[in-house]
Amino acid sequence: GENVEQHPSTLSVQEGDSAVIKCTYSDSASNYFPWYKQELGKGPQLIIDIRSNVGEKKDQRIAVTLNKTAKHFSLHITETQPEDSAVYFCAARGKGAGGSYIPTFGRGTSLIVHP
Amino acid sequence: ETGVTQTPRHLVMGMTNKKSLKCEQHLGHNAMYWYKQSAKKPLELMFVYNFKEQTENNSVPSRFSPECPNSSHLFLHLHTLQPEDSALYLCASSQDPLAGTDGSYEQYFGPGTRLTVT
């Protein structure tokens, strides 16, 4: 099955700095790579995603890049703000044993933005 | 508010109790999912239902019993749980888990039920 590795587990930055979180995946058939943000007491919320036929996608201060050959993808947050502090999860969506396309998640990165 | 609600938000139960978790989605999606989230571990997929039919069961112990009466509601029935089952249980929904490279398959998560087994 799919295996997703995510680094770092904790990331501490100053407000205004950039933050980068990296993930690798193992199944070359995976075709969709979402990123989720989870705040305390809430479920994960999708913040950006990228499909396997695209190399880069940007949405305001957030961008995601995908290198299919190397099987890695990254989340970039620029001009970080204290409200960006949360746990971020990457995922790779591949085919489960039952035929459904399901995501496999990384372990998460706790991002702390200091004012 | 993601359109996915879960009740209860918190649950404490003894190992001999029977309880149920409920999830409801108001997004018109076809698929619903149960995940287990434990500290320091990745999100673990437990079950997937597509059009009320279970399509994935990730080797989950039989003390967890899912039920999906329709595409909008999902239950997780719990009985004789162990302390290591204490975790945040998350429900999610999506449009089409069978879609390949096309289609809409973003998942929307509920807030979770924090379960403590004593």
pLDDT per position as a tens digit, B12-43: 999 888 999 999 999 999 889 999 999 878 89
Name the residue among B20, B35, B28 with its Cα closest to residue B4. Answer: B28
Dihedral, A50, B95, B69, B9 alpha carbons, nearest 10? 50
- Contact between residue B100 and residue B37 where contact means Cβ atoms under 8 Å apart: no
Distance from C-alpha of B3 to C-alpha of B105, rounded to nearest angstrom: 15
Distance from C-alpha of A4 to C-alpha of A71, rounded to nearest angstrom: 10
pLDDT score of B67 more than 80: yes
pLDDT reported for residue A103: 87
Distance from C-alpha of A43 to C-alpha of A86, rounded to nearest angstrom: 11
User: Coil, strand or helix: which one is A20?
Assistant: strand
Q: Which helix (H) or strand (E) holds B29?
A: none
Residues 36-65 of chain B with CB under 8 A from chain A are: 40-43, 45, 48, 50, 54-57
* Interface contact flag, B40 A107, Cβ < 8 Å: yes
Distance from C-alpha of B45 to C-alpha of B43, rounded to nearest angstrom: 7
Find the distance separating the first CA and the last CA of chain B, reported in whole Å.
31
pLDDT reported for residue B5: 97
CB-CB neighbors (< 8 A) of A105 in chain B = 42-43
Number of CB atoms found within 10 A of residue A67's CB? 12
pLDDT in tens, chain A (115 residues): 789 999 999 999 999 999 999 999 999 988 889 999 999 989 999 999 998 888 999 999 999 999 999 999 999 999 999 999 999 999 998 877 777 778 899 999 999 999 9
How many angstroms separate the CA of residue B57 from the nearest CA in chain A? 8
| pLDDT, tens only, B80-118 | 999 999 999 999 998 876 655 555 578 899 999 999 999
